[in-house]
């Protein structure tokens, strides 16, 4: 039985949402004070991966375009921040937006021709991008430090804050991640978000309905690249070091795995996926070197067959079990269930389809 039944748009629902959000926020803020520096470092990485995965999810989950090149944008962001801090002595807080701008521009330039490509071809071109990144980084040794990598001076904790470095880094990354998540949530709920889903589900119909396909796709590609770039810059800050081995094509693949497992086309999925890619390989590799790959491969295939909504979809189902949101009955009409209103659940659960007529 359901625990709760609330009306859509009621004050009670808004209260519930606010309480849930506040609880999540408090939990996120409190985490670094209850664990050791190693765990804090891992949690920081989770947040960083979540930002990158979120950007990729905008492109893949909402827009249906496949990118195997987000590791490359992540790398560009990381090296932009690293070079700006280490060589140009830019304050580290400025390096993050700078990395975002650079990758946005790069994504825009790349997106203009790339949006002509559909499906598989975009996957191939972006794959080429991520394969080309490590050799290029190694080649331009003067700027990037080549194979040896480039040390990045880490931020120092401001004197008025009673924090250790690992806690400060975590909170810094959390702040940036919160902003990026809010931006994404706004973006996907607004008109642009609906335009994206329209393009994903039927490009031709979307165009007919007046969606400017070229503009929307290019913007999304660029924003998505900027998310990866910001995440890359945070990565450089958090690790204090960048080297080409961190940015192999495997990274692009791991980001894609994160959003598929976490849940395509959901904001929460990025965070869940980031938890998977940070913690599962750690435990798996302590058992067997090959287990990580087996788990990744098997999970990916299994999710595509059994759980197209990913972990976020599963959580959503659980939430609906517990809390039922009903539409306010229109005068004289019958109340309708929530599922009718949620286009996302309808389209993601299709596949079984209607019986043939």
Nearest CB to other proteins, comparing residues 201 and 212: 201
Shortest approach of other proteins to residue 56 CB, angstroms?
Answer: 12
Shortest approach of other proteins to residue 321 CB, angstroms?
Answer: 27
Q: Which residues bind other proteins (CB under 8 A)?
A: 60, 64, 66, 113-114, 116-121, 123-125, 127-128, 131-132, 135-136, 138-139, 204, 253, 256, 260, 264, 288-294, 296-301, 304-305, 308, 351
Shortest approach of other proteins to residue 117 CB, angstroms?
Answer: 5
- 1-12: b (≥16 Cβ within 10 Å) or e: eeeeebeeeeee
Nearest CB to other proteins, comparing residues 91 and 142: 142
- SS3 per residue for the chain: CCCEEEECCCHHHHHHHHHHHHHHHHHHHHHHHCCCHHHHHHHHHHHHHHHHHHHHHHHHHHCCCCCCCHHHHHHHHHHHHHHHHHCCCCCHHHHHHHHHHHHHHHHHHHHHHHCCCCCHHHHHHHHHHHHHHHHHHHHCHHHHCHHHCEECCCCCCCCCCCCCHHHHHHHHHHHHHHHHHHHHHHHHHCHHHHHHHHHHHCHHHHHHCCCCHHHHHHHHHHHHHHHHHHHHHHHHHHHCEECHHHHCHHHHHHHHHHHHHHCCCCHHHHHHHHHHHHHHHHHHHHHCCCHHHHHHHHHHHHHHHHCCCHHHHHHHHHHHHHEEEECCCCCCCCCCCHHHCCHHHHHHCCCCCCCCC
Nearest CB to other proteins, comparing residues 88 and 306: 306
Nearest CB to other proteins, comparing residues 46 and 264: 264
Nearest CB to other proteins, comparing residues 63 and 184: 63
Shortest approach of other proteins to residue 216 CB, angstroms?
Answer: 18
Shortest approach of other proteins to residue 300 CB, angstroms?
Answer: 3
Nearest CB to other proteins, comparing residues 71 and 155: 71
Place of tokens 């706004």: 186
Nearest CB to other proteins, comparing residues 132 and 143: 132
Shortest approach of other proteins to residue 106 CB, angstroms?
Answer: 14
State the Cα–Cα distance between residues 13 and 26, nearest whole angstrom: 20
Shortest approach of other proteins to residue 64 CB, angstroms?
Answer: 6
Shortest approach of other proteins to residue 40 CB, angstroms?
Answer: 29
């Amino acid at each position: 039985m359901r625990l709760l039944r609330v009306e859509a748009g009621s004050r009670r629902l808004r209260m519930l949402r606010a309480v849930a959000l506040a609880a999540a926020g408090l939990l996120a803020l409190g985490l670094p004070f209850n664990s050791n520096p190693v765990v804090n470092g891992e949690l920081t990485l989770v947040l960083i991966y979540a930002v990158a995965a979120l950007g990729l999810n905008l492109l893949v989950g909402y827009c249906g375009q496949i990118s195997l090149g987000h590791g490359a944008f992540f790398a560009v962001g990381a090296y932009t921040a690293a070079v700006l801090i280490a060589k140009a002595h830019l304050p580290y807080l400025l390096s993050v937006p700078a990395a975002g701008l650079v990758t946005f521009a790069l994504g825009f330039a790349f997106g203009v021709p790339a949006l002509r490509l559909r499906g598989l071809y975009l996957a191939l071109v972006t794959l080429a991008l991520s394969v080309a990144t490590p050799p290029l980084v190694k080649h331009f040794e003067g700027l990037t430090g080549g194979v040896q990598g480039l040390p990045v001076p880490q931020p120092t904790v401001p004197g008025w804050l009673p924090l250790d470095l690992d806690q400060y880094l975590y909170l810094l990354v959390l702040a940036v991640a919160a902003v990026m998540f809010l931006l994404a949530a706004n973006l996907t709920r607004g008109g642009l978000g609906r335009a994206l889903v329209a393009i994903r589900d039927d490009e031709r119909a979307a165009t007919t309905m007046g969606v400017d396909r070229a503009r929307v796709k290019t913007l999304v590609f660029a924003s998505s690249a900027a998310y990866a770039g910001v995440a890359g810059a945070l990565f450089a800050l958090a690790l204090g070091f960048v080297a080409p081995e961190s940015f192999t094509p495997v990274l692009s693949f791991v980001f894609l795995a994160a959003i598929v497992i976490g849940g395509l086309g959901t904001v929460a999925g990025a965070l869940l996926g980031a938890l998977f890619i940070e913690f599962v390989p750690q435990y798996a590799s302590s058992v067997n070197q090959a287990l990580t790959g087996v788990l990744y491969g098997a999970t990916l295939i299994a999710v595509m067959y059994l759980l197209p909504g990913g972990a976020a979809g599963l959580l959503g189902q659980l939430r609906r079990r517990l809390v039922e949101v009903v539409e306010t009955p229109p005068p004289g009409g019958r109340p309708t269930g929530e599922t009718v209103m949620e286009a996302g659940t309808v389209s993601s659960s299709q596949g079984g389809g209607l019986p043939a007529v």
